[in-house]
């Protein structure tokens, strides 16, 4: 049960983190540069935060591989959401 909770915590950190990084790009947002920079920084912080539960629950080796897999899942989720938005 503990592993599932850590996985969900990491996943709920990766998807909004990727969304913030994507919305921090000029291509996906018409916001001013300062606001985009803030979104990118928030996204990077969320992505870094997602690494912590992965490392804690599965150790450094498997945790890092799981985190990279979650990053790929987050990228696909956000890319599909942005593609449907247009």
Task: List per-residue pLDDT tens for the chain, 86 residues long.
Answer: 688 999 999 999 999 999 999 888 877 677 777 777 888 999 999 999 999 999 999 999 999 999 999 999 999 999 999 888 76
Determine contact, residues 39/20, Cβ cutoff 8 Å.
yes
CA distance 1 to 67: 19
pTM of the model: 0.86
Q: Which of 61, 60, 16, 71 is nearest to 40 (CA)?
A: 16
């Amino acid at each position: 049960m503990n592993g599932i909770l850590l996985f969900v915590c990491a996943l709920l950190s990766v998807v909004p983190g990727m969304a913030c990084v994507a919305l921090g790009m000029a291509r996906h947002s018409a916001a001013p540069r300062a606001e985009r920079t803030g979104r990118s920084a928030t996204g990077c912080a969320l992505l870094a935060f997602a690494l912590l539960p992965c490392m804690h629950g599965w150790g450094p080796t498997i945790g890092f591989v799981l985190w990279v897999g979650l990053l790929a899942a987050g990228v696909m989720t956000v890319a599909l959401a942005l593609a449907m938005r247009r």
